[in-house]
Every structure is written in C-alpha cells, then in structure tokens.
Amino acid sequence: MTRLFPMLIGILSLADIRVAVAQVDYPVPIIFDTDFVMPPSDDSMALMLALQSPEIEILGITTVAGNDSLERATSDVLRMLEIANQAGIAVYQGADMPLVHEKSDYAVRKYGNWYSNEAPPIPPGGFATKKAEDETAVSFIVRTVMSRPQQVTLVAIGPLTNIAQAIRAEPGFAKNVKQLVIMGGAVALLPDGAGNMTPNAEFNFWVDPEAAYVTLRSGIPIELSPLNVSRKSALTKAWYEKIVAVETPLTQLLRETLGHQFESEPDRAWLMYDQIAMASVIDPTLVTSERLYVDVDIDHGINYGVSVAGREIWPGAEGAQQINVQYELDWPRFIEMFVERVQKPVH
C-alpha cells in the first residue's frame, strides 16, 4: 500500500536560498548494500533502523567486503535477520574484493579487514540457519532494478564494488535506478571534511576508489552522506542507556555487543555514519544538502580514494556529475527517531 507524504525541504545557504518540494512515496522499496558486521558496527544499526521503519520496504540485502570479509558480512547479516525475526528477507553475496585495490601493509595496519579470507566468527547466538541465495548480488541488483524501472532506491553503505559492477553489467541500469544513497567520501569544500582512512580519504571510498569513480559518474541520481554529516552525530552512553532501557531482541543484542564498550570507555561518542544515510531515506528533511560536482581520485598516489567536490567543474574533473551532498543534520530529531525505532518490538 502506498501512502503519499508531500514534504517541504528547505535548503538554505548564505549565498543561495533554494526551496525544493519533494514528494516521497512510502514505503520506499530499497536494496540494502552493506559491508555488514554485528553491533557495534554502524551497518548493523542502520539495518535495525530500516527493519523497524514502516516507511521502508527491503527488497533484498546485498553484501560486500569492507569492514570485514564478504563471508563475515553475509554470516552476520543472516544472523541479525533471525534475531530481528525477519529471516524472510533474502541475502545475496557480492564482491569479496575491490575492483582494483589490493591488500597492502597500510591496509593491514589501519582499520578494516576487507582483504581477509579467514572464516567468519560465530555471531551472537550461533550461525543462522538460513543461507544466502544462490543468485549473486550483482544479478539480483540488476534484475530488480530492471524489472521495476525508476522505482528502486539503492542504499549503499559499504565500498561501492557491487554497485559499480551492476552499472557495468547492464547498460540500461543507471537510468533505471530511482535514487542511490551512499555513505562515503569526505568533502574538503564543506566543514568537517577530513578523511578517516588517509588524511583526506574516507574508508568506503578508499577501499574501492575505482568503484566510487564509476558510480559517481554513472548518471544515477545520487544522495551522498559523507563524513561531514556523520560528524554532526554522537552516540553517547546516555543515548545507549536510553535505547537499552526497553527490552527487545535488538536492544538485547546492543546490550551484549555495545555495553562493554561503554563500560570501558564511558566518555566515548560514536559517529553514526550509515545510520544517517539510512535515516535520510526515511525522512529526507533530517539532512541539509548542497548540489556539488563530486569526483574521486583514482591515481595510485597520495590522494588515492579521496573525494573532491566543487561548485563548478575544474580541470581534470570533466565528466563528473552533480549530486546532493549532505552536510548538516537535525540531530535532535534524528536521534529521537533512531531511539524510538530501535526500541520498537520486533515483528
């Protein structure tokens, strides 16, 4: 059943005052593309938000190597779906390595285990009974988008390997995607635009820069949720305690996996990367965006994987595409919604 919510989205900047009227048809059919690992990962909390939101219809989940290996992503997400009593949602395995980027000493030293071929650890409560589908992630993404032209939103919160492969696999794919919401990149042009993997590169784009390059230049309408907007969030112990004050299978999972983190580091504040990208699909008025040309450096030099954004095309960025870049967050409304959704009873 489709409900129509007209939304007024005001986008204000000093130089430019624009007001856009966007109409969102709910529920939004999405494919959730993720480098999933169990909590305290942001992917897991983004999935909780999606599963618990009536505005979202998850058509399928596709996994990709990123935070950890592809096998770990698949094993953990299958188990999480069982815990959430949503094992009916199909999971499709995607890329186990970036398009080009190879393991390096730097990658091993820094955050992430995308290059790993170790067996996945046992998730909380044991491995899921249900397995991933036989169909590949790319086949599922292409088939679903092509059978529902201009209807499907892709939510990509890991390296963009699966999305780039789908773009390459089917020439008509890009123009049939309704919207692609990406957690990735960091924009130096806007406040809080430093990288988190190298001085200027964000993790998801750095793991697969070539995939990010192909995707950003594909012509798909894109909403980018970069580190700039992630840095407007802070999941503190106080918010954690508010969430776990209500007992459900999801809050119990958070208690088991996040609780000891706050015990050992009570002052820690966790950035909410993927949760914000997901929330912006549920309610686009939670974020403020600016339309910018965004490109990714794929030279294997000091800026490998760095996203660069400008208000006009600059030399070398010919062919780059204008996209929405999130930079501000209505934190009070976002965190209230997050807490309320995660605390809801599971179906």
Q: Give contact residues for Ca ion (rule: CB under 5 A).
A: 35, 43, 157-158, 274
How far is it, in rounded angstroms, from Cα 263 to Cα 318? 50
In this structure, what DSSP letter does residue 206 have? H
Q: How far is the CB of 223 from ligand RIB (least distance, A)?
A: 15
Helices 70-83 and 249-264 pack at an angle, to 10 degrees, of 120
Helices 249-264 and 331-343 pack at an angle, to 10 degrees, of 120
Q: How far is the CB of 229 from ligand RIB (least distance, A)?
A: 11
**Residue among 44 and 200 whose Cβ is closer to Ca ion:** 44
Q: How far is the CB of 202 from ligand RIB (least distance, A)?
A: 5
**Which of ligand RIB, Ca ion, none does 75 bind, CB closer than 5 to 8 A by kind?**
none
- The Cβ-side half-sphere exposure at 150, using a 13 Å CA radius, reads 0
**Residue among 272 and 323 whose Cβ is closer to ligand RIB:** 272
Q: How far is the CB of 188 from Ca ion (least distance, A)?
A: 22
Q: How far is the CB of 44 from ligand RIB (least distance, A)?
A: 9
How far is it, in rounded angstroms, from Cα 10 to Cα 288? 8
Q: How far is the CB of 149 from ligand RIB (least distance, A)?
A: 28
How far is it, in rounded angstroms, from Cα 333 to Cα 286? 7
For ligand RIB, the binding residues (CB under 6 A) are: 41-43, 67, 157-158, 183, 196, 202-204, 273-274
**Which of Ca ion, ligand RIB, none does 93 bind, CB closer than 5 to 8 A by kind?**
none
* Residue nearest to ligand RIB as judged by C-beta position: 203
**Residue among 142 and 277 whose Cβ is closer to Ca ion:** 277
**Residue among 114 and 262 whose Cβ is closer to ligand RIB:** 114
Q: What are phi and psi of 154, to 5 degrees?
A: -95, 130
**Which of Ca ion, ligand RIB, none does 203 bind, CB closer than 5 to 8 A by kind?**
ligand RIB
**Which of ligand RIB, Ca ion, none does 196 bind, CB closer than 5 to 8 A by kind?**
ligand RIB
**Residue among 202 and 297 whose Cβ is closer to ligand RIB:** 202
**Residue among 24 and 77 whose Cβ is closer to ligand RIB:** 77
Beta pairing partners, 324: 223, 291
How far is it, in rounded angstroms, from Cα 209 to Cα 184? 11
Pairing of strands 321-329, 153-156: unpaired
Pair 59, 30: CB distance under 8 Å: yes
User: Greatest CA span in the chain, whole angstroms?
Assistant: 55
Q: What are phi and psi of 290, to 5 degrees?
A: -125, 145
